[in-house]
Amino acid sequence: MKNGIHPSYRPVVFKDFSCDFAILTRSTIKSSETIQWEDGKSYPLVRLEISSGSHPFFTGKQKLLDTAGRVEKFNKKYAKAKS
């Protein structure tokens, strides 16, 4: 392998703040934030909006969010013509 062309592959913490779920794994992603992990060491932190701890497929809990009337807009657009 050539020297200096590969990214740094190191331990990183991915944390979903919506459900306080965190996982320590290895990655090449860059982050300016750090977090203290359970082992007492400090690791780079990557903030997540959704993870297996909060995704409906894994939790079995469906959250229906209707933002700006999207459901009504869809139903109105694709509603069958009444006879």
pTM: 0.63
- Which tens digits make up the pLDDT trace of 49-62? 777 767 665 566 66
CA dihedral over 43, 30, 32, 4, signed as positive or negative: positive
Please name the residues in contact with 25: beta carbons below 8 A apart, sequence gap of 6 or more.
11, 12, 14
Query: Domains of the chain: which residue ranges?
Result: 10-78
At residue 17, the pLDDT reads 82
**What percentage of the chain exceeds 90 in pLDDT?**
39
**First-to-last C-alpha distance (Å) of the chain:** 70
At residue 15, the pLDDT reads 92
Q: Which stretches within 4-83 are classed as H helix? A: 56-59, 70-78
